[in-house]
């Protein structure tokens, strides 16, 4: 089975722009979660989607949004980029079963100049 | 809210055992996980333990869970240079599939 894929792997943007990141989960997984990883704050939960519905949301401003499509692929969008949004954005997929293992993709490295 | 703490750095000699420790505040997570992150990569799920278990062994990896002290540890036997990475412990807290991570322990393996 193919793992979680994320595109693009690297992205450079300037302040004020917006960006869309994509995540394709493992086949059969219906839950997709997004995390932001920075040296200062570590790994922080952004949101989780299941069957096209956002079920959970972390403490991030409204500039961060996401969605999930009927094939379970997910996108996250960050509008009006700030320097502090520079981070590694990771998505994880799971079957949402009993032991609920979360499998992570390689991440998208976003740099905001 | 949930808090997960880890020591930040561990240095071991190749062939020795490594023990990475983690303490957590929220005991509601049914499972606790260990992830490995190599430079420039995402997180690799190494192993997990059910909260009703005290120990789980998986090849070179041993997970110990002390529920009373809310302490989790990961022991890597016969540590190799390929084990050099950052190790995160994590558990669920605060709703659907929300993992809370420790700050990560950087393991350095030297000859």
| Residues B55-73 pLDDT 10s | 999 999 999 999 999 999 9
pLDDT at B23: 94
Instruction: Give me the residue from A56, A99, A105 closest to B97, CB to CB.
Output: A56
- Per cent of chain B over pLDDT 90 is 73
Which residues are paired to A95 by β-bridges?
Answer: none
pLDDT at A75: 98
The CB-side HSE value for A3 (13 A sphere, CA atoms) comes to: 14
Measured CA distances, B91 to A64, A84, A86, B58 (Å): 24, 26, 25, 19
pLDDT at A2: 83
* A chain contacts of residue B95, beta-carbon cutoff 8 Å: 48, 55-56
Q: Shortest Cα distance from A85 to chain B (angstroms)?
A: 18
Q: Shortest Cα distance from B18 to chain A (angstroms)?
A: 23
Residue in B92, B108, B88 with CA at minimum distance from that of residue B35: B88
Cβ <8 Å between B92 and A101: no
Residue in B44, B43, B101 with CA at minimum distance from that of residue B72: B101
pLDDT at A65: 98
> For A31-56, how does the pLDDT look when each residue is reduced to its tens digit (9 = 90+)?
999 999 999 999 999 999 999 999 99
**Residue stretches of chain A with pLDDT short of 70:** 98
User: What average pLDDT is seen over chain B?
Assistant: 92
> For B80-107, how does the pLDDT look when each residue is reduced to its tens digit (9 = 90+)?
999 999 999 999 887 788 899 999 999 9
Torsion sign (Cα): B87, B93, B98, B103: negative
Of chain A, the end-to-end C-alpha distance in Å amounts to 37
pLDDT at B1: 59
């Amino acid at each position: 089975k193919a793992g979680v894929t994320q595109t693009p792997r690297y992205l450079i943007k300037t302040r004020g722009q917006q960006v869309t990141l994509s995540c394709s989960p493992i086949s059969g997984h219906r839950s997709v979660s997004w995390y932001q990883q920075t040296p200062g704050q570590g790994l922080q939960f952004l949101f989780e989607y299941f069957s096209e519905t956002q079920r959970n949301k972390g403490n991030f401003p409204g500039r961060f949004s996401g969605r999930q499509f009927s094939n379970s692929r997910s996108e996250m969008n960050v509008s009006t980029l700030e320097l502090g949004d520079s981070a590694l954005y990771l998505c994880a997929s799971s079957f949402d079963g009993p032991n609920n293992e979360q499998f992570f993709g390689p991440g998208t490295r976003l740099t905001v100049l | 809210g949930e808090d997960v703490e880890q020591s930040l750095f561990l240095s071991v000699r190749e062939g020795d055992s490594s023990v990475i420790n983690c303490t957590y505040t929220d005991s509601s997570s049914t499972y606790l996980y260990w992830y490995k992150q190599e430079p420039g990569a995402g997180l690799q799920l190494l192993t997990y333990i059910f909260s009703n278990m005290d120990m789980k062994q998986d090849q070179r990896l041993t997970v110990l869970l002390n529920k009373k002290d809310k302490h989790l540890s990961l022991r890597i036997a016969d540590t190799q240079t390929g084990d050099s990475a950052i190790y995160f412990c994590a558990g669920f807290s605060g709703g659907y599939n929300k993992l809370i991570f420790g700050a990560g322990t950087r393991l350095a393996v030297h000859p």
